[in-house]
Amino acid sequence: MNITVKFFASLREQTGKSDASISYAEPISVLDAWKQASGMQSMPENTLCAINMEYVNHSTLLSDGDEVAFFPPVTGG
């Protein structure tokens, strides 16, 4: 199964990448996806996560074809 990973803002700079693709055999969580896509970097405590553009928590499980995104607290407006 394959998922797409996206990093935004400071997390893109921290990981050095904006996109990544990862493959796995067993169901994995959002946190597992971070570890695999970031090269086992530590995740900042206030990191927000989304699957297919909906907010989720770090323990949510991913499905084949999902897009998971990691970003810092939002600062628009």
Partner 1 sequence: MIELRTTEFDPLDELAIYQKRLAAGKYGACCNFIGSMRDFNEGDEVSKMTLEHYPGMTEKFLQTICDEANEKWPLLDCLIIHRTGDINPNDSIVLTAAWSAHRDASFAACRYLIEELKHRAPFWKKENTGQGERWVSENTKAED
Residues at the contact surface with partner 1, assessed by CB under 8 A:
6, 8-10, 50, 53, 55, 69, 71-77
Q: Which is nearer to partner 1, 11 or 28 (CB)?
A: 11
Smallest separation (angstroms) from partner 1 to the CB of 52: 9
Contact assessment for residue 15 and residue 30, using Cβ atoms and an 8 Å cutoff: no
Contact assessment for residue 16 and residue 39, using Cβ atoms and an 8 Å cutoff: no
Q: Which is nearer to partner 1, 20 or 24 (CB)?
A: 20
Q: Write the burial class of residue 65 (CB in 10 Å: 0-12 exposed, 13-18 middle, 19+ buried).
A: exposed
Smallest separation (angstroms) from partner 1 to the CB of 72: 7
Smallest separation (angstroms) from partner 1 to the CB of 25: 28
Best CA proximity match to 71, nearest among 10, 5, 3, 1: 10
